[in-house]
Amino acid sequence: MLVRLALAVFAATLTTAASAAGPADLAFMRGSWEGRSGPLTFEERWTEEAGGLMLGVSRTLKG
């Protein structure tokens, strides 16, 4: 639940500052991230910036 809230806040921040920020500003996100909340495990993978874009994938596992 906290991860979803954080992602929502992050997305809102990006939409308001899209003209000022670029993929290089988000370089800290690249790599693998994992978090747990009760029986849920959250996983994210982010690529390095290429061509002005970063790619991310997320999944939530229960159990």
Segment 5-63, tens digit of pLDDT: 666 767 776 665 556 677 788 889 999 999 999 999 999 999 999 988 899 999 999 98
Total domains present in the chain: 1
Report the SS3 class of residue 14.
helix
Instruction: Dump strand ranges (E) for 1-63.
Output: 31-37, 40-46, 56-62
CA distance linking residue 51 with residue 56, whole number of Å: 15
Domain ranges, residue 12:
2-62
* Inter-residue long-range contacts of 43-51, CB under 8 Å, 24+ positions, other chains counted: 49/23, 49/24
pTM: 0.59
